[in-house]
Amino acid sequence: MAQERNGSQFEFIGPNSSDSKPDAQKVYELLLRMLDRWNAHDLEGYLEVYWKSPELLVIVDSEQFNGWQQLHDSYSNGYPDCNAMGFIQPKRIQVKLLKPDLGLALTWWSVSFPSSQQKVVGHTTCNLQKFDDGWKIVASHTSMAVAAK
C-alpha cells in the first residue's frame, strides 16, 4: 500500500493479511513521530523510538554506537544547541513486516540547515522489534552525503 504526504512517498509492504497492516501502520507512524520530534528539536523525544538497551546497534556512515546510552550521549554532545539539528524532510518510507514482531523500514530523507544553507541527503535502514510497550528500533544503519548546491 502506498501513500503520498507532502510530495513524499510512503509504502507498506507485507503479507496480504489484514492482521499485518495495523502493525505496519504503527511502524510507519512511529517513524513519522520520530521525524516530527527531530523537526521540533526534541532530542529526547527523537531517541524514544530506539530500544533503550545496551544491545542497541546504530551505525551512521562509519561511526558505530553500541547501546542506547552511547547513542544518547553522542547526540547530546553533537547537538548542544538543538537549533543546529536542522529540519528533516522524508522523501520515501518503506515498511515491511518480516514476522509479527519484526519489521524492516527504509527511509530516504534530506536535512536542511537554514543557518549554513547546507543540505544533507541520506537513507536509513532500521530493524524494528515489537515489545510489550510497542515497536522500537533495535538496529539501524544510515548513510548520508552533503547535497550539491
Question: Could you name the CATH architecture of 2-146?
Answer: Roll (3.10)
Rounded to two decimals, what is the model's pTM?
Answer: 0.84
pLDDT digit string (tens) for 37-78? 999 999 999 999 999 999 999 999 999 999 999 999 999 999
Contacts by 74-82, CB closer than 8 A, 24 or more apart: 75/43, 75/46, 75/47, 76/43, 79/43, 82/41, 82/42, 82/43
Pairing, β 8-13 against β 2-5: antiparallel
Which among 57, 61, 85, 88 is positioned nearest to 143, based on CA atoms? 61
Residues of the chain falling short of pLDDT 70: 1-21, 149
Which among 67, 34, 74, 31 is positioned nearest to 52, based on CA atoms? 67
